[in-house]
Chains A and B, each alone.
Chain A
Amino acid sequence: MRFVDEFRDPALAAALVKEIGAIAARLERGRDRPFAIMEVCGGHTHAIFRYGLEGLLPDLVEFVHGPGCPVCVLPMGRVDDCVAIAERPEVIFTTFGDAMRVPGSKKSLLQAKADGADVRMVYSPLDALTLAKRNPDREVVFFGLGFETTMPSTALTVQRALREGVTNFSLFCNHITIIPTLRALLEQPDLGIDGFIGPGHVSMVIGTSPYRFIAEEFGRPLVVSGFEPIDLLQSLLMVLRQIEAGEARIENQYARVVPEHGNPAALRAVQEVYEPRETFEWRGLGSIAGSGVRLTAPYAAFDAEKRFAVPDIKVADPAQCRCGEVLTGAAKPWACPEFGKGCTPETPLGALMVSSEGSCAAYYQYGGIRGEAA
């Protein structure tokens, strides 16, 4: 067990691995494919690779890396929309650094910046608001991105802008919500996922109760997990125990950070500022009903889509890319003909290769344990 030594509690890690192996051995009979447990969150994906957790698992158990990396699911056309806004002379376009290198159909935001657009990487939407206050003759647009983890931050910033009377600030809202996404995934007819490891920080905001439908309607267990390797092993064991007992429940392994009902102040801001869009397009997954949000009427003045004519560009992914299948766990990155050839972290074709949370970048960086053999 090559990495177990660096875990916070090596003895506990070894015991967990042993117990996972024992359950797998008991479940082996009559099983023709591995138990596929999807970790939804890109942060978990990254930790799984870094600690080599896949290499610790019995053959009968595998992690499937889910769509929980918000940068990875950005369609190319959305990046083109960002570039179109950013290239307006009056605009200062602000974004989290993660989005700078995601390829659009013609260029990324980084390339747009090199070509002269005023694109600035900020740490927080609050910094974008500060920029707006300091540059009253410019239009400051913030590219709002992410699941419920970052959604409260932009909601609270928009509320702050309203309170402070800042009128040259707007949000290009591309937030996505986890629940409709999981539902869309579960409704796929041939979904071979046996259980879920739930995201830690999304759940810190929304709590654990919104996941109940996964157990009740779809009969799959979900365990909300922390980010330490021990957390992930423990959560995996909790999922497998449920499978062995023939149960499907929502459990919370990360109760030290995740309250059952989430964060009330964050949820209130999200509810006031955002409402679901009818549909929202994801890279590789197509359109998912109700998965995106836009600003509600009281905050419409801060909506970049209302303030600027956003082209709403739709472009298909390059035909040879398999980003969609990799995102849903239907294909492993090395099954993509571009993996490590046309598509590398330096020259990414898909966002899964850009973000450190994307599974293609993770496999590329750490060499997928089973990928090496393939």
Chain B
Amino acid sequence: MCLGIPGQIVAVADAEAMLCVVDVSGVRRTVDVVCVAEPGAPLDDLVGAWVLVHVGFAMSRIDEEEAAATLKVLSEIGEAAVEMEALTQGSVELLSTPR
């Protein structure tokens, strides 16, 4: 829960509610992007960006290389599996359809 996991923003789910769809190692879910959005800029600008996702919130923008390196460490210490399990089993609302 503290380490989070990298993911890539693939779609805007609800711009007004500041929700985007993130792909985390092949699993998609809706996350809150208020902490990574540029104030005033359209959320579409975020599509394609890599972010660190903590408990359903995109908390920091990172580059692709950092995302890959972070994922590698998380896998090696066993946290990636724990995080993915929490994400897939604990998500009440996995993505249905991006707008």
Residues of A with Cβ closer than 8 Å to B? Answer: 6, 8, 41-43, 46-47, 50-51, 69-70, 96-98, 121-128, 130-131, 134, 145-147, 149-150, 152-153, 156, 160, 201, 204-205, 227-229, 256-257, 263, 265-266, 269, 356-357
Q: Which residue of B lies closest to A126 (CB)?
A: B56
Kindly count the residue-residue contacts between A and B in the assembled complex, taking CB atoms under 8 Å apart.
129
Interface residues of B in 1-42 (CB under 8 A from A): 1-4, 17, 29-32, 34-35, 37
Contacts of A70 in B (CB 8 A): 2
* Known interface pairs A6-B76, A43-B79, A227-B3; 5 further A-B residue pairs with C-beta atoms within 8 A, sorted by A's residue number: A43-B2, A96-B55, A156-B57, A201-B3, A228-B69
Q: Is the interface of A mostly helix, strand, loop or mixed?
A: helix
CB contact under 8 A between A152 and B86, given known A228-B73, A265-B35: no
CB distance from A151 to the nearest CB of B (A): 10
Residues of B with Cβ closer than 8 Å to A? Answer: 1-4, 17, 29-32, 34-35, 37, 52, 54-57, 59-60, 62-63, 66, 69-70, 72-74, 76-79, 82, 85-87, 89-93
Contacts of A130 in B (CB 8 A): 92-93
Contacts of B91 in A (CB 8 A): 122-124, 127
Q: Which residue of the partner chain, among A123, A160, A205, A256, contacts B86 with CB atoms under 8 Å? A: A123
Check B76–A149 contact: CB distance below 8 A.
no
Check A123–B2 contact: CB distance below 8 A.
no
Check B54–A201 contact: CB distance below 8 A.
yes
Q: How far is the CA of A263 from the CA of B37 in the complex (A)?
A: 11
Q: Which residue of the partner chain, among B30, B60, B62, B69, contacts A263 with CB atoms under 8 Å? A: B60
Q: Is the interface of B mostly helix, strand, loop or mixed?
A: mixed
Check A125–B78 contact: CB distance below 8 A.
no
Q: Which residue of B lies closest to A129 (CB)?
A: B92
Q: Which residue of the partner chain, among B35, B57, B62, contacts A256 with CB atoms under 8 Å? A: B62
Q: How far is the CA of A232 from the CA of B68 in the complex (A)?
A: 18
Check A97–B90 contact: CB distance below 8 A.
yes
Check A356–B78 contact: CB distance below 8 A.
yes
CB distance from B84 to the nearest CB of A (A): 10
Check B55–A153 contact: CB distance below 8 A.
yes
CB distance from A318 to the nearest CB of B (A): 26
Check A201–B32 contact: CB distance below 8 A.
no
Check A43–B90 contact: CB distance below 8 A.
no
Contacts of B30 in A (CB 8 A): 126
CB distance from A270 to the nearest CB of B (A): 11
Q: Which residue of A lies closest to B29 (CB)?
A: A123
Q: Which residue of A lies closest to B92 (CB)?
A: A127
Contacts of B70 in A (CB 8 A): 227-228
Check A42–B35 contact: CB distance below 8 A.
no
Pick 16 A–B contacts, CB within 8 A, sort by A.
A46-B77, A50-B77, A51-B76, A123-B90, A123-B91, A124-B56, A125-B56, A134-B92, A149-B4, A149-B54, A156-B34, A160-B17, A201-B54, A256-B63, A356-B78, A356-B79
